Structure 1
Amino acid sequence: MSTSMHPAAPDHLPWFIPAPGGSDLLLVGTALFLLAAIVAVGLIFLRLHTLPERLAHKSQKLQFEIVAVLGLIALLTHQHIFWVAALLLALIDLPDFGTPLRRIAGSTEKLAGIPPGDGNREADEIERASLAAQKREH
């Protein structure tokens, strides 16, 4: 029995229709494109997610650490308010309160006749002596 083609059938099939037993090139191409698109979107998402940390990297250490923790909390809890708070904190320059307070403390120690930086050690000794006296009373 001979097989004849239907009169309405085209002479050739398009490239994306595989021959019997052949591989489907359109399926393979679509799978590779989908995989590349997923990786690209994931990289864009992670780059956007680390934006507050990259902005705060040039700021003070404490501010950077707070922004990093807020970003990590946002990533793990899926609460976007933490990411927004991290972004706002990264964009704001916090004033440096530590340096003036250290200078004031050093000047006060110098006025009291204590070498700068030793005031904390003397306060600890006074506190230990007071605790020892309280223990003796009991």
Structure 2
Amino acid sequence: MIDFQNASYVKLGYWDLTDAAQALSPVLAAGEQIHLAFKGIRDSVTFTDKRVIALNVQGMTGKKKDYTTLPYSKIQAFSIETAGTLDLDSELEMWFSGLGKVKLEFNRQVDIRGVGQLLADKTL
């Protein structure tokens, strides 16, 4: 499974939805739509209308991939933290039943409030 504790230099940034759809096509359900997608150097996190998908690209060639599904129905709580003047990244923490806390760090350009709104729509 993906290591959600990103290295401090690897912050998630926006990922083109067309590229995300192409990369995730082997695991998307019929009719599943991507709402938001974020990518680090090789790994990514995508928010669809049904779930959160974490893609962990492994190995030197990147041919081995781990797709982790995090269902919205298992989110018990979540927290967003916006970027500040000195703290240049924003953060999302989600607590999953049976999994525990998942923490994601985003670069300054990401509107973390939009992520929070999507999660509120899907979980509340």
TM bracket, shorter-chain basis:
under 0.3
Greater per-residue helix proportion: 1
Higher relative contact order (CA 8 A, sep 6+): 2
Greater per-residue strand proportion: 2
- The higher radius of gyration belongs to 1
TM-score, normalised by the number of residues in structure 2 = 0.21
TM-score, normalised by the number of residues in structure 1 = 0.20
